[in-house]
Amino acid sequence: MKSTGVVDCLIIGAGPGGLTAAIYLARFRRNIAIVDSGFSRAALIPTTHNCPGFPMGISGKEFLKRLRFQAAQYGVEIQAGEVMRLKQVENFFEAHVSNSGGSGTSRHRGRDGGGGGEMSIIRAITILLATGTADSRLDTRDWKTCIRKGLIRLCPICDAYEATDQNIALISSSPREGVKHALFLRTYSQNVTLIYQAKAELTSAEKRRLRQVNVEVIEDALGSLHIRGESKPSIRLSKGEELQFDVIYPMLGESPRSQLAVQLGARCNREGKLIVDRHQRTTVAGVYAVGDVVDGLNQISVAAAHAAIASTDIQNRLNKLGYRLCP
Ligand SMILES: Cc1cc2nc3c(=O)[nH]c(=O)nc-3n(C[C@H](O)[C@H](O)[C@H](O)COP(=O)(O)OP(=O)(O)OC[C@H]3O[C@@H](n4cnc5c(N)ncnc54)[C@H](O)[C@@H]3O)c2cc1C
């Protein structure tokens, strides 16, 4: 097991949140390490149209590439691997990292480890968690292809505009979320169907509200999803009936990747998202969280804003603790 010197901040995750934080902290002339396991939600985005500064849209992969390039201008290199465990030791944190090879070292890091599929330890004064969240998936083999083609969409705020006037199915198992998203989608199309996988009954007020705006409600345990080649997706209901749509929004919940902070004692809300204050501090001193892992809107701009706030607070905290002021 190789180990590193103590860095000012260990950033866990190199999606939009982690990479923005890396750019800020490197420009604050901090020694940082950044580790990433390669599952950014942003990499799934076919083309985002609501990211400021890209009037013609940009693919998630290209956006991440540009952020990586920007971070690299300040000497940041991303270590490929997964942080398996965080431990608090005296006045710093110790991260156990399973390296997946192709690792990089940053000249901002006081380190000597990494690479070759082995375990290494990174010690850090502060931790910034930008680990994101994982969407619950429908049972289909072609999940990524369907997302790339816009047949399955996961975020009405991101891309309902692109589904304007289409025949939209929304699948939900939560009455509150189902009704909320159906009403939101109704801004874009007259043809919205809520396929509701009942866990709790919709109230008569909820049903009435949906009827008023012509949202069709189908209460069904949902048989299976069918997508053949380039054709439109269809859903086979449990009794065999098959319904075809232009686009399907499965809003089936998510699993925030908050475990590392929770192991340290950080508090989460009911959905498992980390609770932070207005400086992005979790309830554990020295541990920050940004982006989709935090309670709030799952959006690139939100992750970037969180990262700017957290990095600045980390810089102030390190200065206050007397770590490396310019001589
Ligand atoms: C299909 C789709 C379309 C979307 N469209 C838009 C859009 O148009 N506009 C918009 O603003 N947003 C959009 N989003 C949402 C956007 O992608 C997210 O809000 C954004 O990626 C959040 O950034 P993040 O840095 O918090 O997390 P992520 O981008 O998910 O990055 C988290 C990173 O942390 C890594 N990680 C996790 N755990 C560990 C660990 N233990 N060790 C090391 N690394 C770890 C992961 O591998 C991942 O690379 C879309 C999302 C999806 C799925």
Residue 93 domain flag:
yes
pTM: 0.92
Residue that terminates a domain, selected from 196, 227, 251: 251
Residue that terminates a domain, selected from 231, 251, 271: 251
In the sheet that holds 242-244, the strands lie side by side as 224-226, 234-236, 242-244
- Give the ligand 1 atom nearest the CA of 48: 8
- Check which CATH number belongs to the domain holding 36 and give it: 3.50.50.60
256 lines ligand 1 (CB under 6 A): no
Q: Which residues pair with 82 in a beta bridge?
A: 98
Instruction: Output the CA 197–ligand 1 centroid distance in Å.
Output: 26
Distances (CA, A) of 287 to 28, 264, 282, 317, 325: 18, 9, 6, 11, 21
> Same domain, yes or no, for 218 and 279?
no
> Same domain, yes or no, for 114 and 16?
yes
> Same domain, yes or no, for 43 and 91?
yes
Neighbours of 61 (CB within 10 A): 14
Joined together, the tokens standing for residue 206 give 């909820």
Which DSSP helix (H) or strand (E) runs through 60? helix 60-72
Q: Give the count of domains, the chain.
A: 2
Per-residue tens of pLDDT for the chain, all 327 residues = 555 589 999 999 999 999 999 999 999 999 999 999 999 999 999 999 999 999 999 999 999 999 999 999 999 999 999 999 999 998 899 999 999 854 343 434 433 344 456 899 999 999 999 999 998 877 777 788 889 889 999 999 999 999 999 999 999 888 888 999 999 999 999 999 999 876 667 888 988 999 999 999 988 776 666 666 567 888 888 888 888 999 999 988 899 999 999 999 999 999 999 999 999 999 999 999 999 999 999 999 999 999 999 999 999 999 999 887 776
41 lines ligand 1 (CB under 6 A): yes
Eight-state DSSP code of residue 83: E
Q: Which amino acid is at 50?
A: N
> Same domain, yes or no, for 159 and 11?
no
Residue 187 domain flag:
yes
> Same domain, yes or no, for 100 and 111?
yes
Q: Which domain holds residue 185?
A: 137-251
Residue that terminates a domain, selected from 199, 220, 251: 251
Question: Residue 16: phi, psi to the nearest 5?
Answer: -55, -40
Instruction: Output the CA 37–ligand 1 centroid distance in Å.
Output: 12
Q: Are 86 and 264 in contact (CB under 8 A)?
A: yes
- Indicate the SS3 state at residue 315: helix
Instruction: Tell me how far apart the 2 most distant CA atoms of the chain are, in Å.
Output: 74
CA distance linking residue 33 with residue 108, whole number of Å? 7
12 lines ligand 1 (CB under 6 A): yes
In the sheet that holds 216-219, the strands lie side by side as 216-219, 192-196, 168-172, 247-251
Joined together, the tokens standing for residue 201 give 């009954």
> Same domain, yes or no, for 122 and 14?
yes
Instruction: Output the CA 292–ligand 1 centroid distance in Å.
Output: 7
Q: What is the separation, in whole angstroms, between the first and last Cα of the chain?
A: 34
305 lines ligand 1 (CB under 6 A): no
- Indicate the SS3 state at residue 33: strand
Instruction: Output the CA 157–ligand 1 centroid distance in Å.
Output: 15
> Same domain, yes or no, for 281 and 242?
no
Which positions ≥6 away from 146 have C-beta within 8 Å? 140, 152, 227, 233
CA distance linking residue 150 with residue 145, whole number of Å? 9
Instruction: Output the CA 190–ligand 1 centroid distance in Å.
Output: 31
> Same domain, yes or no, for 146 and 29?
no
> Same domain, yes or no, for 239 and 96?
no
